[in-house]
């Protein structure tokens, strides 16, 4: 039904486009230059009035239909049925009614439920037809209204362009609203967590043992929610990753822009960027199966004990993963420095090295910084590699040879297995997520700000 | 093959003697002999021979693509950075072959400065722009010495009074004419012996152009200046000698007044009277 209605609206809108176009041409007897706007703008204007309000109405209708019918159902139940039920039980009752209405009867439903199911069924049908009727009449009203406005003086182009820009605003709003929704849901759950665990303990506590019993008789840790070791672990791994990625990325960018032959550059650059296309799971395998054992063997050789899931292995592999972020953005930034800067420096008697360090890198610094900050936020938010290669136990250490855990790893481990969304263990994941989100958001904003502020400074 | 007639080291008399300038013969500073240049397979310069004298301005004129800028860039080996560029011939600075293996282009460019068509200050402060050359060549030791060099260079470039209160501001924030004078200050900060100018005024308005031309008059007292220009009026105003290039060849070189009033070659005649180019 919904599909048919939308299809009908679309067909109507397309038809009214042609109708409007023809009508506009007819109004001036085919002498187009007498029209303020071209016929196709008139057509688009009419089509927009036919299609958009009715489609919008369908959307609103769909959003409201469910809750309205649910409430009506609860009203129509025999008095006293819902008294004293919790919201969870009520929604259980409603879904029972709906599954009976859909014909999925598992046990013997009560008479009241059967009645309600029948009512639900018929109301649904009524609602569908009503929606179709209302949508169609709105579409026809739009057609009537818009086609009456067609005249030589009518500024249809402005109207159509306004509608179009409105649509574009709506599209960009979707992204913003989604972000807002994510933030809100994180925030609300995090606040629930802070109801149970004081924020002071979370942010400054040194002990992280979140696996508290959910069922009775579970053997678990004591339950402590001091997130400092998790944060320092994240920091340590991100630091190792950046220590690997920054010099390698930067030097390869300098090589590619300043030293490499164009043919070499044409091969190496895409290959480097290919690194960014490798799924992070594969990097995880690489870290666990290749890098970590190799490091351990090397450690045995020189007599240094290296944990199998050391921060070094995870951070190092993560560093390899984010090389392309730095190299690619730095490469673009250096290549964007005008030839005139290089000429100016060479003409002063500067060597290539001096030109690069004293002129090109400072001029490209905003782009390079932007790349590095994006890479940092990527490193902090990266999940798969650390889930596979880093540790799970939160330990407060700065030794890269020991296992540490990260925010993302903890979120994953908190949300798998037994979960209950009333429990500090599960809610802690949201608090961690909120912190992670805020940090990466701040880094991204900072990166964008730097890039924007200093962009094209040399022009 | 044209011989090298007027070019032979007979220094010309200065057209109009000015105060403070000796009417005596000028000293030969740079000499190019039979310079050929290729970009890959394409030959861009054909047997160019030209003398450039100290304390005077030599103007290179000619239609676009005639090789005058290319020739200019041979004089400080800026063509070295271009892939596939090959230079043959003999170019001497004070009698020393600048393409000899023992000459480092980096050192050469400290002696032969260059100013470009489009002002290209670095995205650094005005002070750092001028101090760039002294820094990389290690000419100064103390901060005071740097400040001194910067002030002197900016003063010589006629920019000091306009920027002395904002040396910390970015050089890219100046107006086009100021930027170009900043680039001149940067070029002369290392006390070059030769200053090459590649159409230095083509991106500037007439007032800024007039300032730069006055400046060149001042600078040439102790510099050998070679300027590429598309403006024949400019060549006539600022230069003592003018060389006319056409299709990669040096057609004629002589005193500026002679080139513009009584050239020997028909092509020069046609060009300076505006019949082509």
Q: Hey, is the C-beta of B23 within 8 angstroms of any chain A C-beta?
A: no
pLDDT given at position A317: 93
What 3-state DSSP class applies to A440? helix
pLDDT given at position A220: 59
State how far Cα A25 lies from the chain centre: 47
pLDDT given at position A305: 86
Q: Do A349 and B106 touch (CB under 8 A)?
A: yes
Q: Do A340 and B106 touch (CB under 8 A)?
A: no
Q: Do B132 and A363 touch (CB under 8 A)?
A: no
User: Which residue in B120, B131, B182 has the most chain A C-beta atoms within 10 A of its own C-beta, making it the best mutation to test that interface?
Assistant: B120
Per-residue pLDDT tens digits for A277-312: 899 999 999 999 999 999 999 989 998 888 888 889
Q: B-chain residues within 8 Å CB-CB of A338? A: 120
State how far Cα A242 lies from the chain centre: 24
Q: Hey, is the C-beta of A214 within 8 angstroms of any chain B C-beta?
A: no
Q: A-chain residues within 8 Å CB-CB of B85? A: none
- Of the two residues A458 and A425, the one the predictor is more confident about is A425
Domains of chain A: residue spans and CATH? 2-155 (no CATH), 208-454 (1.10.3720.10)
User: Which residue in A263, A342, A344, A368 has the most chain B C-beta atoms within 10 A of its own C-beta, making it the best mutation to test that interface?
Assistant: A344
Per-residue pLDDT tens digits for B153-187: 999 898 999 999 999 998 888 998 999 999 999 99
The span from the CA of A403 to the CA of A390, in Å, is 6
Q: Do A362 and B132 touch (CB under 8 A)?
A: no
Question: In the predicted model, what is the mean pLDDT of residues A374-398?
Answer: 87
CA distance B88 to chain A (A): 21
Q: Do B110 and A363 touch (CB under 8 A)?
A: no
Q: A-chain residues within 8 Å CB-CB of B108? A: 349
State how far Cα B163 lies from the chain centre: 25
pLDDT given at position B22: 40
Q: How confident is the model at residue A177 (pLDDT cuts 50, 70, 90)?
A: very high
The secondary structure of residue A260, as a DSSP letter, is: S
- Please report how many Cα atoms fall inside a 13 Å half-sphere around the Cα of residue B154, on the Cβ side: 24
- Of the two residues B201 and A213, the one the predictor is more confident about is B201
Q: How confident is the model at residue A87 (pLDDT cuts 50, 70, 90)?
A: confident
Q: How confident is the model at residue A83 (pLDDT cuts 50, 70, 90)?
A: confident
DSSP annotation string for B10-46: -PPPPSS--TTS--SPPPEEEEEEEEEEEETTEEEEE
pLDDT given at position A109: 73
Per-residue pLDDT tens digits for A38-68: 888 999 999 999 999 999 999 999 899 888 8
Instruction: Compute and round to an integer the Cα radius of gyration of chain A.
Output: 31
Q: Flag whether pLDDT at B15 surpasses 60.
A: no
The secondary structure of residue A197, as a DSSP letter, is: S
What 3-state DSSP class applies to B196? strand
- Mean pLDDT (chain B) is 87
Strand order in the sheet with B28-39: B42-53, B28-39, B85-93, B96-97
pLDDT given at position B7: 40
DSSP annotation string for B76-140: TTGGGGSTTEEEEEEEEETTEETTSTT--HHHHHHHEEEE-SS----SSBHHHHHHHHHHHHT--
Per-residue pLDDT tens digits for B206-228: 888 998 999 999 899 989 999 99
| Residue B145, C-beta contacts closer than 8 angstroms, at least 6 positions apart | B139
Q: A-chain residues within 8 Å CB-CB of B183? A: 344
Q: Flag whether pLDDT at B48 surpasses 80.
A: yes
pLDDT given at position A394: 82
pLDDT given at position B131: 94
pLDDT given at position A457: 56
- Scan residues 248-277 of B and list those with Cβ closer than 8 Å to A: none
% pLDDT > 70, chain A: 96
Q: How far is CA A217 from CA A212, A214, A220, B35, in A?
A: 11, 9, 9, 94
The number of C-beta contacts closer than 8 angstroms across A and B is 71
pLDDT given at position B84: 86
Per-residue pLDDT tens digits for A128-149: 899 999 999 999 999 999 888 8
Lowest pLDDT segment from B19-28, B124-133, B188-197? B19-28
Q: Hey, is the C-beta of A351 within 8 angstroms of any chain B C-beta?
A: yes
Q: At what angle do helices A424-454 and A407-415 cross, to 10 degrees?
A: 150
Per-residue pLDDT tens digits for A115-131: 888 888 888 889 889 99
**Backbone torsions φ then ψ of A209, nearest 5 degrees:** -140, 80
pLDDT given at position B264: 92
Q: Flag whether pLDDT at A29 surpasses 90.
A: no
Q: Flag whether pLDDT at A273 surpasses 90.
A: no
Question: In the predicted model, what is the mean pLDDT of residues B81-97?
Answer: 90
Which sign, positive or negative, has the C-alpha torsion B35, B36, B39, B40?
A: negative
Question: In the predicted model, what is the mean pLDDT of residues B35-51?
Answer: 93
The span from the CA of A307 to the CA of A304, in Å, is 10
**Backbone torsions φ then ψ of B139, nearest 5 degrees:** -80, -25
State which residue of chain B sits closest to A343, comparing Cα positions.
B78
Provide the total of helices (H) and of strands (E) in chain A, helices listed first: 17, 2
Shortest CB distance from B123 goes to which of A349, A351, A457?
A: A457
For residue A47, the cross-strand partners are none
For residue B87, the cross-strand partners are B37
- Scan residues 40-99 of B and list those with Cβ closer than 8 Å to A: 76, 78, 81
Q: Hey, is the C-beta of A346 within 8 angstroms of any chain B C-beta?
A: yes
pLDDT given at position B195: 95
Q: Do A349 and B187 touch (CB under 8 A)?
A: no
pLDDT given at position A363: 87
Per-residue pLDDT tens digits for B244-256: 999 999 999 999 9
The span from the CA of B71 to the CA of A79, in Å, is 102
pLDDT given at position B12: 44
Q: Hey, is the C-beta of A345 within 8 angstroms of any chain B C-beta?
A: yes
State how far Cα A380 lies from the chain centre: 16
Q: Do A347 and B78 touch (CB under 8 A)?
A: yes
Q: Flag whether pLDDT at B1 surpasses 50.
A: no
Domains of chain B: residue spans and CATH? 28-272 (3.40.50.300)
pLDDT given at position A219: 60
Which sign, positive or negative, has the C-alpha torsion A126, A128, A132, A135?
A: positive
pLDDT given at position B21: 41
- Scan residues 128-187 of B and list those with Cβ closer than 8 Å to A: 132-133, 135-137, 170, 172, 183, 186-187
Shortest CB distance from B136 goes to which of A340, A358, A459?
A: A358
Q: Hey, is the C-beta of A341 within 8 angstroms of any chain B C-beta?
A: yes
pLDDT given at position A222: 64
Within 10 A of A20 (CB to CB), how many other CB atoms are there? Answer: 28
Question: In the predicted model, what is the mean pLDDT of residues A345-362?
Answer: 91
């Amino acid at each position: 039904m919904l599909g048919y209605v939308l299809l009908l609206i679309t067909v109507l809108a397309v038809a009214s486009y042609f109708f409007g176009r023809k009508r506009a041409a007819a109004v001036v007897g085919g002498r187009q230059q007498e029209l303020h706007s071209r016929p196709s703008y008139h057509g688009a204007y009419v089509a927009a009035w036919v299609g958009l309000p009715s489609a919008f109405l369908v959307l609103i209708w769909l959003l409201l239909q469910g809750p309205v019918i649910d409430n009506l159902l609860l009203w129509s139940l025999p008095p006293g049925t819902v008294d004293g039920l919790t919201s969870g039980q009520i929604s259980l009752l409603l879904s029972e009614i709906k599954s009976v209405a859909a014909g999925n009867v598992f046990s013997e439903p009560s008479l009241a439920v059967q009645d309600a199911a029948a009512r639900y069924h018929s109301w649904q049908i009524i609602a569908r037809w009503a929606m179709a009727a209302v949508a169609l009449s709105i579409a026809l009203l739009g057609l009537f209204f818009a086609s009456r406005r067609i005249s030589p003086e009518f500024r249809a182009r402005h109207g159509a362009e306004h509608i179009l820009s409105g649509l574009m605003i709506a599209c960009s709003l979707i992204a913003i609203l989604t972000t807002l929704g994510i933030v809100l849901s994180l925030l609300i759950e995090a606040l629930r967590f802070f109801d149970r665990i004081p924020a002071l303990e979370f942010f400054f506590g040194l002990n992280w043992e979140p696996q508290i019993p959910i069922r009775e008789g579970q053997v678990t840790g004591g339950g402590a929610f001091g997130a400092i070791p998790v944060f320092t672990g994240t920091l340590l791994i991100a630091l190792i990753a950046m220590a690997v990625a920054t010099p390698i990325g930067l030097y390869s960018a300098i090589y590619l822009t300043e030293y490499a032959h164009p043919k070499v550059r044409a091969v190496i650059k895409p290959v480097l960027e290919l690194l960014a296309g490798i799924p992070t799971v594969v990097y995880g395998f690489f870290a666990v199966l290749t890098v970590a054992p190799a490091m351990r063997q090397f450690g045995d050789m020189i007599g240094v004990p290296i944990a199998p899931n050391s921060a070094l292995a995870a951070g190092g592999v993560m560093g390899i993963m984010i090389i392309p972020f730095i190299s690619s953005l730095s490469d673009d930034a250096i290549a964007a420095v005008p030839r005139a800067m290089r000429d100016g420096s060479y003409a002063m008697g500067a060597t290539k090295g001096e030109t690069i360090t004293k002129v090109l890198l400072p001029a490209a610094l905003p782009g390079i910084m932007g790349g590095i900050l994006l890479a940092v936020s990527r490193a902090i938010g990266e999940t798969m590699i650390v889930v596979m290669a880093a540790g799970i136990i939160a330990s407060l250490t700065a030794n890269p040879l020991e296992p540490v855990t990260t925010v993302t790893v903890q979120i994953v481990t908190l949300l798998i297995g037994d979960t209950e969304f009333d429990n500090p263990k599960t809610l802690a994941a949201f608090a961690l997520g909120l912190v992670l989100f805020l940090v990466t958001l701040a880094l991204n904003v900072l990166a964008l700000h730097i890039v924007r502020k200093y962009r094209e400074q040399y022009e | 093959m044209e011989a090298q007639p007027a070019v032979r080291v007979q220094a010309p008399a200065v057209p109009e003697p000015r105060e403070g300038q000796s009417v005596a013969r000028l000293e030969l500073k740079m000499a190019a002999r039979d310079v050929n240049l290729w970009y890959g397979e394409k030959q861009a310069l054909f047997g160019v021979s030209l003398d450039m004298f100290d304390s005077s301005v030599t103007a290179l004129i000619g239609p676009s693509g005639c090789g005058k800028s290319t020739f200019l860039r041979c004089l400080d080996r800026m063509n070295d950075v271009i892939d596939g560029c090959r230079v043959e011939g003999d170019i001497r600075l004070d009698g020393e072959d600048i393409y000899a293996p023992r000459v480092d282009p980096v050192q050469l460019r400290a002696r032969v400065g260059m100013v470009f068509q489009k002002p290209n200050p670095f995205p650094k402060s005005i002070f750092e722009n001028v101090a760039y050359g002294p820094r990389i060549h290690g000419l100064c030791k103390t901060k005071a010495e740097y400040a001194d060099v910067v002030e002197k260079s900016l003063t010589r470039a006629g920019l000091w009074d306009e920027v002395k209160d904002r040396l910390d501001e970015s050089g890219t924030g100046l107006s086009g004419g100021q930027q170009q004078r900043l680039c001149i200050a940067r070029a002369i900060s290392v006390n070059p012996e030769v200053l090459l100018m590649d159409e230095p005024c083509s991106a500037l308005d007439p007032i800024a152009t007039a300032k730069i031309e006055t400046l060149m008059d001042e600078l040439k007292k102790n510099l050998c200046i070679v300027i590429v220009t598309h403006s024949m009026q400019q060549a006539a105003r600022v230069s003592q000698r003018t060389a006319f290039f056409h299709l990669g060849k040096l057609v004629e070189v002589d005193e500026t007044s002679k080139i513009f009033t009584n050239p020997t070659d028909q092509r020069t005649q046609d060009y300076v009277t505006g019949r082509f180019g």
